[in-house]
Amino acid sequence: MPKRDYKRELAGTTTVDIYTKAELDALFAAMDEDDHLLFSTIKEAALRKKEAMHLEDSDLIHDEIAPGIWKCEIRVRSKPHWGWQTKMGWDRDILISRELIDRLLKRSAAKRPSTLLFGTSNGKPDYHFLDRLKAVGKKAGLDQPRVWTHKLRATTATTWLRSKELGGKGWDIGFVRQQLGHADYKSIEAYIAIVRNEEIAMREHDDGQDNPWGEAGTVWGDTVHVIRPPKG
């Protein structure tokens, strides 16, 4: 096998870890108001840590495109004045909910030491997001090695790809790639694999395969559970 093909095959074995619904519920229940807004933003927009660190007031888009219909987005763009550039230098606009944009606009209107939405007390970029999330995870009783910020992004990417029948958005792969800011589809194959495994598990359950008892399957957050009676 050529070396390049071997490397490509190895790349295909990469997996990602995502939060379950129970873990997310526990995390966000343990947060104070500031942490809740910060990590809600990272999660809902699937932001990279440094993208969230450099969000400013001007990155909030709130346009009424038709009577009563609002386009709510976060714009990710390079910030030369902070010495930071987006991955590959690309800008992108990410759809978020009206509820989240309202919370962010409220924060934007509040007096702060700089235009950064989540800056430090002296108005500089905050490099301690992981420490903050770890502290919340400890308070929530979660296993510390299973708590990190990028996992929020992976969880949302999976939700975007997951079908509505399984509790997701059902967005097409091309749009998800754009929202995540990836250059190609290779980067989201691990997320697609999670979704495909869930779909196959549910389909096989519906077909009565690997489930001789014919019990109902239940989707809870990020896991498909097949309920079977105890043996004996």
pLDDT at 217: 35
Look up residue 79 and give its two tokens. 């910030």
**Tokens 């490509």, residue located:** 8
Per-residue pLDDT tens digits for 190-228: 999 999 888 888 887 777 654 443 333 333 333 333 333
Contact (Cβ atoms closer than 8 angstroms) between residue 21 and residue 221? yes
Its pTM stands at 0.81
Per-residue DSSP letter, 164: G
pLDDT at 124: 97
* For the chain, counts of helices (H) and of strands (E): 9, 5
Whole-number percent of the chain with pLDDT over 90? 72
pLDDT at 176: 96
pLDDT at 105: 98
Note the residue count of the chain: 232
Q: Collapse the DSSP code of 222 into the 3-class scheme (helix H, G, I; strand E, B; otherwise coil) and give the result.
A: coil
Contact (Cβ atoms closer than 8 angstroms) between residue 154 and residue 191? yes
Contact (Cβ atoms closer than 8 angstroms) between residue 109 and residue 44? no
pLDDT at 209: 52
How far is CA 96 from each of CA 91, 113, 137, 154, rounded to the nearest angstrom? 16, 26, 24, 16
Total domains in the fold of the chain:
1
Q: Do the domain assignments include residue 227?
A: no
Mean local confidence (pLDDT), 76-92:
95
Q: Do the domain assignments include residue 126?
A: yes
Q: Do the domain assignments include residue 169?
A: yes
Q: Do the domain assignments include residue 204?
A: no
Q: Do the domain assignments include residue 22?
A: yes
Domain span holding position 164: 14-184
Contact (Cβ atoms closer than 8 angstroms) between residue 190 and residue 158? no
Return the minimum-mean-pLDDT range out of 58-62, 99-103, 211-215: 211-215
CATH of the domain at 176: 1.10.443.10
* pLDDT over 90 (residue 186): no
* pLDDT over 90 (residue 11): no
Per-residue pLDDT tens digits for 132-159: 999 999 999 999 999 999 999 999 999 9
Q: 226 phi and psi, to 5 degrees?
A: -105, 115
Instruction: Give strand ranges (E) for 114-228.
Output: 217-220, 223-226
Q: Do the domain assignments include residue 94?
A: yes
pLDDT at 208: 63
Q: Do the domain assignments include residue 197?
A: no
At 90, is the pLDDT very low, low, confident or very high (cuts 50, 70, 90)?
Answer: very high
